Chains A and B, each alone.
Chain A
């Protein structure tokens, strides 16, 4: 889009909507700009005559621009470089990480702690540094998780940098008729530049003169063959025509001069770069899930906190006390360790994937693969081996299939025929030839002449290969079973059929012929001149046809099959020709056997294409030209109606449009690709997968995941791991959420019934951030309960990470049991030390009275404040121990959601076993390490109090086994609906 365009649009918008705020306008402008980027490049610089070109850019095709004018243009257009988009400043990004829903709550809690501590200091009665510790810990948790998130984001942003590597440093420019070497960023539109083999093209240029110039366009279009650049305009599309060379492509050989028609961000590569950096990074499904439930948790925490704040005020507590209650409830209810747990679980899976050659750049992408429902795969290099391989041969009037496997392990054809030897010889002698990709241009058959090895035979052998019909024109005989037979109509027809058949397979067909030159006419030492053609080039003997294809990788058909069983749709999006694309698609199973396109049905039924019902066709091949004319609704329809889709001849913009269309239909889209041209789509996709070996830096930077071995089959592994981690995260979160209830209830009881506080905030933080982290992470090592690769991908709208059943079951059932366990142990510890349950009720104000040094217990004994405080710490510890014991039962039941724990096996997950041992050891250390009472409020409790919560632990386990049994036995029942999470 040019500057004037954007300006016009801007003006128009102003008129339509005069009073929209400026900010909004800017936003819309940016969006519009992005939209227009998606449209195809529309220039005619390649079609106009050189004179017109000179006029347009006020330049000369011999002398170039004048230096002064060039300077003016430079000032007008800006330097010839890729401008990185204005990003959000780093500190804003970091601040954003610190201001999530939970984080804000924790900030509030920390501030309340500070205020409470400050008030205590100003009153001069420091009863302890608990509040200070608490505040510092809370802030530390927020900052550390923030750093985690920031680091994640930081790693995956630097996209434009990779494009910069593509841009040349220096360029040879002709200004004022003088050749100068200048920095490429000083080039302007209209400059006359010279490129030679090895250079990178310094801008988009219209070629004026060329001598055997060839460029490598693979990074832009995906075509792997060198492309000839010449002054003629050969195609109306600027991407296809030969007289335009693109910025950043490499000139492989030859020399050319040209006039610059576009610089900087207005070049093709510049557009791709701004497209890639401009499309927003989609939020990963797991990020959406986590945000979704973090919001709920934060909401509930505020709700609980506020309710009890009001209740406390109503009961008659002081404002500050009520604030502290609010803070404590927030601390108790918010799962502080959860974000860390999720991150660790994801990175464990990422590590596991890395061992299988999938490097995950963005941690959250690990899960995205699991929920992927559509894979848009590039063809070349991903599905195929990216090397032209002989697929079929036609000789002796038979089509023979060649072995195309990577390691040549397949079946080979019968090689005994005499004709095969002749054909093989021609093919091996002629193999410095270059195949012409554009069949419509006249191919010059390649030929070469060789002496025979047989010393008795002094004849020269002339061999030739080329486009089959051209070769056939020059032949008068055909080699059949070693015999030269005259090439009559019958053979010609056979040739035509074979040629059509092979072409129909999407293969590139070459014809081969040879002739033994007459030794009298061409004795040894004869100088052959290919320019003058001073030798026989007709009446040759046709040897056969060889067709070639870039064959699919061996593992791909199987992987595609697995994707299908896993309910994932594989769509091919390629820059290649429709026929080839279709052939490969059929080969790897993207178009399954028996599937027909609308065109196929039309030819089969012999009816016009328009009469075919679109829904009858399972498969559909759409090429870039058709796609250009389709509206987005039509594209959506096509994607909806045809389960098997192939897109051919697509441009980078179109790839992006296809991805967007899939996303509109509610799919989670994975895109695989390797070229620069794939980078916008990779970025837009929910998960972009770049090829590690063939992939360009731009693609790798835009992607979330890199396949080190370029193997499509690795994606299937990724899907499996992604699904597994989703299930396991569910278990982990269920485990983590459960204990929030036994952490919360002590406060609720404390506020409403006024018992001495059963569980302190610091102890809660120890549960959240120390003892329970390892077990919740260990659930990530749990094996799958069923064959997850036979299930459909999850529906992102329905199958949530945290659903109602999970929360309700964790909170109101298991959490409730744990609370009862805690209170049983609490009351036991209190009663055994002399405070009977009924005395505890309403005791709070006396219990916490610092001046009261002789409070009587149930036996008439008198306690000092400090003695009561240590008793309170004992209660904290006892409650802590109860939660730990119940959490061990909890982690055991969370191993499975449906299967019995006995079916899953208790010891198969070694990490989980060691996590339980670790949890117990840490619990014991906290309880019995000297000094703990005064630092962290843990008391060395009596051993028997460890066993009080045990019945509740057993209850949890037994109850959950009953639940799972009922869920297994009665699928779809009320029980299943309400209690299966």
Chain B
């Protein structure tokens, strides 16, 4: 009986035919409440949109207000491989074909023809600064050419397979774009240096850097943002493993060497450095 009462109570609460109440309120009461909340939330949303609008007005289109997290630019390799592991068998074309294709598509914007057409041949070894004058914005800004051919053996122009078929693979290292960053002080260009991790010291063998010394030329800095500098081509460094020990896993860490970039962030394994695993299998 008590159960039935409770059921009836619920039923009554849901729809009470005597008072014509639905969930404890009449239609007009629901209407009023609905209108009240409608007005309330329209007001709140209005206030939200207004504050957001005001906030967006204060933003600069070309330079972020703060760059608190970007003190050390990230490094990244191409091809990325699976979980930063590049493992393939020299004789097995299919195992490295994806890497070659990734590199091909990655490097296609750097084709000499494209670069010459879109970009400007800057004066090397010095920053390519294009300051705005006080009132007039110096937009759009020009970008410097980074021709694919600079990467020589790793450009894919002379060696279609970037050395993968020979067991001398190329890895391309790129520095994350950060607006206004001027790496290297006193005209010293930042460079990439790769070294094996402790255990694998003698297994890595010799490494060749392209361009020579693995430097990022100063003329590619600073970056002015994707709006002002539409065609910016970020500089690359390629490394080629010349006589790597086959059939073993080798952990390689590449660091940027620049006198004004702190690259010792314990927590961020990709800030100013990049590590990857390399293993080339071979039947002989």
In the assembled complex, 18 residue pairs joining A and B whose CB atoms fall closer than 8 Å, in A order, are A820-B47, A824-B55, A827-B52, A853-B74, A853-B270, A854-B74, A854-B174, A854-B176, A859-B62, A861-B177, A861-B178, A861-B179, A862-B176, A863-B70, A866-B270, A867-B271, A874-B68, A951-B51
From A816, A824, A861, B64 is in contact (CB under 8 Å) with: A861
User: Any chain B CB within 8 A of the CB of A865?
Assistant: yes
Within 8 A of B (CB), among A887-929: none
A851 vs B63: C-alpha distance when bound (angstroms): 26
A860 vs B62: C-alpha distance when bound (angstroms): 10
Q: Which residues of B contact A871 (CB under 8 A)?
A: 69
User: Any chain A CB within 8 A of the CB of B40?
Assistant: yes
Interface size in chain B (residues, C-beta < 8 A): 48
CB pair A862–B74 under 8 Å, yes or no, is yes
User: Any chain A CB within 8 A of the CB of B108?
Assistant: no
Give the nearest-CB partner of A832 in chain B: B65
- B residues contacting A by CB (< 8 A) are 32-33, 36-37, 40-41, 44-45, 47-48, 51-52, 55-56, 59, 62-70, 73-76, 80, 83-84, 174, 176-179, 223, 225-227, 232, 265, 267-271, 274
A851 in contact with B84 given A861-B70, A861-B177, A864-B74 (CB within 8 Å)? yes
A833 in contact with B66 given A823-B48, A851-B80, A861-B179 (CB within 8 Å)? yes
Residue among A854, A861, A871, A978 with max Cβ neighbours from chain B (10 Å): A861
Q: Which residues of B contact A816 (CB under 8 A)?
A: 40-41, 44
A-B pairs with lowest CB-CB distance, top 6: A860-B226, A866-B268, A864-B74, A862-B176, A832-B65, A834-B64
CB pair B44–A864 under 8 Å, yes or no, is no
CB pair A867–B74 under 8 Å, yes or no, is yes
Give the nearest-CB partner of A817 in chain B: B44
A820 vs B44: C-alpha distance when bound (angstroms): 8
Q: Which residues of A contact B83 (CB under 8 A)?
A: 851
Q: Which residues of B contact A812 (CB under 8 A)?
A: 37
CB pair B55–A827 under 8 Å, yes or no, is yes
From A823, A860, A865, A874, B177 is in contact (CB under 8 Å) with: A860
CB pair B176–A832 under 8 Å, yes or no, is no
Give the nearest-CB partner of A824 in chain B: B51
User: Any chain B CB within 8 A of the CB of A934?
Assistant: yes
CB pair A862–B177 under 8 Å, yes or no, is yes
CB pair A833–B69 under 8 Å, yes or no, is yes
A654 vs B112: C-alpha distance when bound (angstroms): 106
A868 vs B74: C-alpha distance when bound (angstroms): 11
Q: How far is the CB of A372 from chain B (nearest CB, A)?
A: 28
CB pair B267–A934 under 8 Å, yes or no, is yes
A837 in contact with B52 given A861-B64, A864-B268, A867-B74 (CB within 8 Å)? yes
A926 vs B196: C-alpha distance when bound (angstroms): 40
From B48, B52, B75, B179, A859 is in contact (CB under 8 Å) with: B179
User: Any chain B CB within 8 A of the CB of A955?
Assistant: yes
A942 vs B33: C-alpha distance when bound (angstroms): 40
Residue among B41, B47, B51 with max Cβ neighbours from chain A (10 Å): B51
Q: How far is the CB of A553 from chain B (nearest CB, A)?
A: 46
Give the nearest-CB partner of B64 in chain A: A834
Give the nearest-CB partner of A865 in chain B: B270
From B66, B270, B274, A942 is in contact (CB under 8 Å) with: B66
From A817, A827, A863, B176 is in contact (CB under 8 Å) with: A863
CB pair B226–A859 under 8 Å, yes or no, is yes
Q: Which residues of B contact A836 (CB under 8 A)?
A: 56, 59
A870 in contact with B69 given A854-B74, A864-B270, A974-B32 (CB within 8 Å)? yes
Within 8 A of B (CB), among A800-845: 812-813, 816-817, 820, 823-824, 827-828, 831-834, 836-837
CB pair A866–B52 under 8 Å, yes or no, is no
Q: How far is the CB of B39 from chain A (nearest CB, A)?
A: 12
Q: Which residues of B contact A864 (CB under 8 A)?
A: 74, 176, 268, 270-271
User: Any chain B CB within 8 A of the CB of A599?
Assistant: no
Q: How far is the CB of A867 from chain B (nearest CB, A)?
A: 4
From B32, B59, B74, A831 is in contact (CB under 8 Å) with: B59
Contact with B along A843-858 (1 / 0, CB 8 A): 0000000010110111
CB pair B178–A862 under 8 Å, yes or no, is yes
Q: How far is the CB of B25 from chain A (nearest CB, A)?
A: 10
